[in-house]
Chains A and B, each alone.
Chain A
Amino acid sequence: MTCPYPLDMPSLDTPSPVPAAENQGLPDGLPDFGSSSYKSAYSRINAIVIEGEQEAHDNYIALGTLLPNEAEELGRLARMELKHKKGFTACGANLGVEADMPFARDFFAPLRNNFQKALSEGKVVTCLLIQAILIEAFAISAYHIYIPVADPFARKITEGVVKDEYLHLNYGQEWLKANLDTIREEFEQANRDNLPLVRRMLDQVAGDAAVLQMEKEDLMADFLTSYQEALTEIGFTPREIARMAASALVG
């Protein structure tokens, strides 16, 4: 005889182990890569990635002008970004999708403007935060979320890219860590100015990302996890980190 109540774990109304979104598309749970809705969404997401890699290249080259001693290393990082750009361009071609580059350039405008302004003012810390920490942390988390739901061709390319991006994140971390005593004020201001942009950018593409089975909540949560890890590596205290991360969630 058994008890009618769900005694083993009564307070947990166990939901379906597979979220509804994962049931759409192909039988193996992946999206239908050939559908018009997928291709439409992919034209914007793919463009963002291609534009992001191009701007990353330009940004690392520009950083080399502020840090002439590091220009060679930065040039090496920049070349990797161009290689990524080629890979992602191939991903779009593989699916027969033309990337919507004007959309992507508009998409990056706020962050690009902030980077260019900091560059013109010689603000290395702000430039590094925008490119080497914030954008890299976002790229890493987005790529991690994309890999399990990508088409086989894009999956392979993205797996290679994500390993490189960790090197870029590490570059920014190490420089900022070595200069922690002098960067705090500028870093916190740059965080306040730029982290809220991430949420707005995410909101802008949440619908397209969902078609690719990448959920906004996952993207934001994983971005913040990567971002917090980077701040921990740099040497900020848990309290400082919690406050800085909050800028992405409110505001």
Chain B
Amino acid sequence: MFGLIGHSTSFESARQLAEQLGFPEYAQGDLEMWCSAPPQLVERFNVTSATGKTIEGAYIDSVFVPEMLSRFKTARRKVLNAMELAQKSGIDISALGGFTSIIFENFNLLKEQHIRNTTLKWELFTTGNTHTAWVICQQVENEAPRLGIDLRKATVAVVGATGDIGSAVCRWLSQRTGVAELLLVARQPQPLLDLQAELGGGRILALEEALPEADIVVWVASLPQGHTIDAGSLKRPCLMIDGGYPKNLDTKAAGEGIHVLKGGIVEFHTDIDWQTVAQAADMARPLRQMFACFAEAMLLDFENEHTNFSWGRNNIQLDRMDWIGAASRRHGFRALGLESETIPSLATA
């Protein structure tokens, strides 16, 4: 059995979901009440691979909402309690979705293995980042040609390059795609220099310097609230893969020739009979589309690979991306692409 550990995208949407699910006490509760509420295993469902194999999954809502991010102890407890619930529910492999993996990594929860009388087994959890990185790379490779961008002549900026997903994307793009130039953008100088040395190339630039040079921008960090992108300075066409969380680039960069694609999202070959996940997720086709990190838990379960496949920071190697990518195709996932109507040359064709 696989598990998905997730949360609503906002307190307001969480309350609406509680109302729809028939939990009026939660729908009417204030944020204080939600901070004390324990995680809930809200749904079980079956998923059938393109190969015909069927597995059972469970969705655990951590009852975390992004409004709790400033409360360190609350956020930490939400993530650890949700993981404990997954473990005690007998789930073989669970993906940490949304902010839960970000909180896990940034609050260094690896040292919090003991919670009450439970010792968390890390091998039961995956960040899902290997699949997310592979999907983002597929999106670059698939969508660039549709916009008339030749990768061999293209400049690709990776924003958040030194992160777990960002560094994997850089490795893949530099070794597998032959992009003309890679621009490395991140906050900390030393990890950037280390990455540059590992890649044997790539130019380190500030965000505002990188954007006007880039044919493709891969965002694996979201733009801070309040910051804007000068759309006028961007190249046309410009492909923007929004792989950060939460996904908010489409409200920051718009204009003719600017194509924003939700990054790290996959579509399954058939509808999944899940209700809560569909309602909680902000997807165009919620019965088929999901975060690639969630799909990684499914893939590991389909493959009977019950291990923390994606774990730790900057461990993602290309052979692992190949493996998860092959599994992804085999079981019926494909990377989300640009809608045809948003590409003028295709819409008129």
Contacts and interface: CB of A to CB of B under 8 A. Distances in A.
Interface of A: 1-17, 19, 140-141, 144, 162, 166, 215, 217-218, 220-222, 224-226, 228-229, 232, 238-239, 241-243, 245-247, 249-251
B72 A19 contact: yes
B159 A246 contact: no
Contact of A6 (B22, B99, B187, B192): B187
- Interface size grouping (class) on chain B: 35 or more
Contact of B205 (A1, A4, A12, A215): A1
B221 A7 contact: yes
Contacts of A218: 73, 77
Residue among B66, B107, B116, B185 facing the most chain A CB atoms (10 A cut-off): B116
Query: Which 10 A/B pairs are nearest by Cβ-Cβ distance?
Result: A246-B25, A10-B224, A220-B36, A7-B221, A225-B38, A3-B207, A224-B38, A221-B36, A15-B72, A249-B33
A229 B40 CA distance: 11
A242 to B, nearest CB: 5
B224 A5 contact: yes
Contacts of B159: 3, 7
Contacts of B66: 11
Contact of B224 (A1, A11, A243, A250): A11
A230 to B, nearest CB: 12
Given A220-B36, A238-B41, A250-B33, A243 B25 contact: yes
A192 to B, nearest CB: 11
Contacts of B102: 9, 12
B116 A222 contact: yes
Given A221-B38, A246-B26, A10 B221 contact: yes
A11 B246 contact: yes
Contacts of A222: 116
Contacts of A232: 88
Contact of B185 (A3, A14, A17, A249): A3
B88 A15 contact: no
Given A2-B206, A17-B107, A217-B36, A11 B225 contact: yes
Contact of B23 (A2, A166, A226, A246): A246
B99 A250 contact: no
A95 B32 CA distance: 34
B28 A250 contact: yes
A106 to B, nearest CB: 25
Nearest to A250: B25
A224 B117 CA distance: 15
Residue among B40, B71, B159, B189 facing the most chain A CB atoms (10 A cut-off): B40
8 contacts: A1-B209, A4-B206, A8-B221, A9-B106, A11-B225, A16-B72, A224-B37, A238-B42
Contact of B192 (A2, A221, A251): A2
B29 A5 contact: no
Interface in B38-83: 38-42, 66, 69-74, 77, 81
A225 B83 CA distance: 12
A217 B81 CA distance: 14
Given A9-B102, A11-B245, A242 B221 contact: no
A7 B245 contact: no
A226 B84 CA distance: 11
A219 to B, nearest CB: 9
A14 B32 CA distance: 20
Interface in B293-331: none
